[in-house]
Chain A
Amino acid sequence: MPASIIARNARILLPMLSFVAILLAVFWLQPRAMSYVGLNLLLNLALPIAFATIAQMFVITVNDLDLSLGAYVGFVACVAATWLAEQPLLGMAALAGGVLVYAAVGALIHLRNLPSIVVTLGMSFVWLGLAILVLPTPGGKAPDWLRALMTWKTPLVPFTIYALLALAVVVHLGLMRSAQGAVLRGVGGNPRSVERAGWSLLKAKMIMFAFAGLFGMFSGLSLVGLTTSGDANIALRYTLLSIAGVILGGGEFTGGRISPIGAVIGAMTLTLAGSFLSFLRLDPDWQIGAQGAILILVLALRVIINRAEARGL
């Protein structure tokens, strides 16, 4: 039995091990990080990245990919730093509109059978353009409540860690443990069998894209709470980070095989990797490249593991 438990949890074990390894490496390089303030500094950017990763995960669950996520998070940040602070009602309407647009994009992709990367690549222009319209030059000011929330001094460990835990648990319960979540994930695994059982694929896709919009919105809000001002280009790299986070967390691009807990851990690992690389005094030019390399490395590692498993069976 233990062997089968390990096999079943291998998907989550690998991300956890890589997270612990990189955390230890960071502590070893910079022992001062082992404190409340240190942890906060290390991990506070992990929350927006984790939200974005979860958003991307919803899209990947139904075998699509969202290349507009970074631009969308930037748009939300701009809205939050301007309208949401000055005219809360208009701000909330704009954010709700963003979620609806996501659902509409899901519907368009399904109904016209379009490749998601083409549509979302086009959407990235739309979001970036809208962000520039809302906030032409970097600036603005985050609503006070958002800043208060993000800088909340919680007991024992920083707020970020509680928030990350809550995020992982809530999405895990909602998507992995609930009856509805099981059906939605089935869409990525075997759409025909889900359809045969009488569920609407269109509805499923719209729901999953709407969730992506919702969590992308949380990502933008938390990001603005941390940076206190907005910028249309603030989150463009989140597109790659979110995809990498899902993959790092044990998710796969097709077949609806994903893991919310893994995705959150993957996002944390990526954030730490950034700090780790800067502690190593790695040339900042190579920061992006290192992320690409990590992604390739993880995928390579997984291929090796899968082959070994296949040979073992």
Chain B
Amino acid sequence: MQSTDRTLVEFDGVAKSFGAVKALAGVSLSIGAGQCLGLVGHNGAGKSTLMNILAGTLSASAGRFLVSGEDVSERYGVTAANRLGIRCVFQELSLCPNRSVAENARIMHPSLKGICWRRRAATLIGGMLDTIFPGHDIDPSQLVGDLSIARRQMVEIARAFSATDTPVRLVILDEPTSSLDGVLAGQLLAFVRDFVAGGGAVILISHLLNEILTTADRVVVMRDGGVVADRPASGFTQITLVESMGSVAQEQARREQRSASLTAELKISAAPAMQGDATTLVARRGEVIGLAGLGGHGQTEMLVRIFQGQRKAQAGITVSGNTAMVAGDRQSDGLFPLWSICENATIGSLARLTRGWLIDPRAETRMGEEWKQKIGIRTPDMANPILSLSGGNQQKVLFARALGSDADIILMDDPMRGVDIGTKQEVYGMLRQEAAAGRTFIWYTTEMDELKHCDRVYVFRNGRIVDELSGDSISGERVLHSSFETAA
């Protein structure tokens, strides 16, 4: 089992689009048995999409995908992946909380049945836990729902590595150490090395670059849906790794410096729930504040905290003024799918549109038309259903809802996801105008380019503010350094 050149999985020009958005632009990549591949990249680089294709939960739009030299791109799926010994530990846990650890092992292994299946399942998962995390105290008969997050993660990992009738050949670990402490993380990474030495393959995704550099044999850097670097781990340092993730198109003309004076009225002062030190987020009248960092590191929670803090007094949060939210996840946080475009746009401003007790339909239509012009919603009729619009135009409606309200603080939750470049430019222009007119913006964005529209930027990692940049110090490189744990 020495040969590291034995190719296990090979992607050949694999591409994937979601509507107009290109998530993967022809990736070619291979991984061999006995290898640990580190995969890094900033938000939206295409890592997750690629791994979902490998796990069988997404299918590629174009390109070939080979396992052990055999082209499987036509008839691939979760079951096929399982049969070929490809396992995946995603960030969102996929265990059934109402069942015990052993029973959860059973769900992945249909062959565990008959008499004493429970004992065999317990032995299987317990043995694997012993191997990976010696000295753990998880009882296989415990309910998963009663376990801490870290232990669930351990069970999920152990389940992925456990084998019954088919050997495990490749395991994808997506941020496996995110909820493990240092000791457990060390045990896991040591086990990964053992597994690889035994001829298995592992793809490791992590924002902790030292983990990548010490564990992986090879590191692949992705950016904008493509592979930009593919070298042995020894060919990288943390610094060069961060640099290769950054944007090639270097800082274009900065936005014209506005003098958002430090004496302007203080609108928000708030600390993340998990901050733990004295750092607070501060925003003044007319400022555009960026929240940066990797996705899911506490930025959305911060916005929701500010939003709720304005409505109900909370410790550590002072908000003076009204807030409105521009949702980024349109389906789950923003749209009312059964309503017309106009109703979706005016819902935040109904108090101003009533005459007596009743909503004035003419005032409502007027506001709809006004924003259709102002923000350029492309529709023949604002009375059409909201779902008749393209994603970008739906997003404009959500902007209209917030900007059209009387709120003087606008919270934006990565609102440009999946929005075309033309729309973006229009919205950027509008933001600048509104900020100049005295509105305050808190803008969580995963796109580096957008940070240059901000006066100040707070970088989040693991639910805490770890860096604050302002003016000329706002650079993609600096944000990358802060969002990845570069300290060894």
Determine if chain A interacts with chain B: yes
Q: Could you tell me if A190 and B106 are in contact, using CB atoms closer than 8 angstroms? A: no
Q: Which residues of A contact B114 (CB under 8 A)?
A: 179
A182 contacts across to B, CB distance below 8 A: 99, 103, 106-107
Chain B residue with minimal CB distance to A255? B98
Q: Shortest beta-carbon distance, B107 to chain A, in Å?
A: 5
* Contact of B146 with A by CB under 8 A: yes
CB pair B98–A256 under 8 Å, yes or no, is: yes
From A183, A188, A197, contact of B98 by CB (8 A): A188
Instruction: Write the chain B residue with the least CB distance to A309.
Output: B146
Q: How many residues of chain B have a CB within 8 Å of chain A? A: 26
* B117 pairs with A194, CB closer than 8 A: no
Report the bound CA distance from A182 to B97 in whole Å: 12
Given the complex, which residues of A lie within 8 Å of B113, measured CB to CB?
179-180
Contacting residues, chain A, for B107 (C-beta < 8 A): 182-183, 186, 193-194, 197, 199
Which B residue sits closest to A197, measured CB to CB? B107
Known: A4-B139, A186-B96, A194-B96. A177 touches B118 (CB 8 A): yes
A8 with B146: in contact, given A179-B106, A182-B106 (CB under 8 Å)? yes
Is A198 an interface residue when CB atoms closer than 8 A count as contact?
A: yes
Q: How large is the interface on A (under 10, 10 to 19, 20 to 34, 35 or more residues)?
A: 20 to 34
| B142 interface neighbour in A8, A177, A257, Cβ under 8 Å | A8
Chain B, 131-150, CB within 8 A of any chain A CB: 139, 141-143, 145-146
**Smallest Cβ distance from A73 to chain B, in angstroms?**
27
Q: Nearest chain-B residue to A194 (Cβ)?
A: B107
A8-B101 Cα distance, complex, nearest whole Å: 13
> With a CB–CB cut-off of 8 A, which chain A residues contact B110?
197-198
**What residues on B are CB-neighbors of A197 within 8 Å?**
78, 107-108, 110
- 8 Å CB interface, B56-115 against A: 57, 78-79, 82, 94-99, 103, 106-108, 110, 112-114
Q: For residue B95, which residues in chain A have a CB less than 8 angstroms away from its CB?
A: 190, 193
* A 243-282 binary contact with B (CB < 8 Å = 1; else 0): 0000000000001110000000000000000000000000
CB within 8 Å of B: which A178-207 residues? 178-180, 182-183, 185-186, 188-190, 192-194, 196-199
Give 19 pairs: A residue, B residue, CB < 8 Å, sorted on A: A4-B139, A8-B141, A8-B142, A8-B146, A177-B118, A178-B117, A179-B113, A179-B117, A179-B118, A182-B106, A185-B98, A186-B107, A189-B99, A190-B96, A190-B97, A193-B107, A198-B78, A256-B98, A257-B98
Q: A178-B117, A190-B95, A193-B96 are in contact. List 7 more A-B contacts (CB 8 A).
A: A8-B146, A186-B103, A186-B107, A190-B94, A193-B107, A197-B78, A257-B145
